[in-house]
Amino acid sequence: MKKIAIGIMVLFLISCAPRTIVVKTAPPPPKVEIKTTPPGKHYVWVSGHWEWRRGTWVWVPGHWVKKPKPHAVWIPGHWKKTGRGWVWIPGHWKY
């Protein structure tokens, strides 16, 4: 019984792990975006980016996001070329 519980827990943890997607073709060049007026003082612009969906590149438009802390800095996501193809490195907050 204990082995079954451990097995279920391992499968659950594996299914929760973030999945790395490797794309064989390079993303198109970024689109030129026009930033609108920020909705407030503590907002930062998150630039748009290309996303790989169902075998094709799809543009995700930029948008304003409220900073989680006053001095937080947004580090943008980017596509990184690797030996296997292109991998998305997600953006994140730096405190």
Backbone angles phi and psi of 43, in degrees to 5: -110, 150
Tokens for 37, please give them: 């007026």
Which sequence spans correspond to the domains of the chain?
21-94
pTM (predicted TM-score): 0.75
Question: Do 45 and 66 meet the contact criterion of CB atoms below 8 Å apart?
Answer: no
pLDDT tens for each residue of 36-85:
999 999 999 999 999 999 999 999 999 999 999 999 999 999 999 999 99
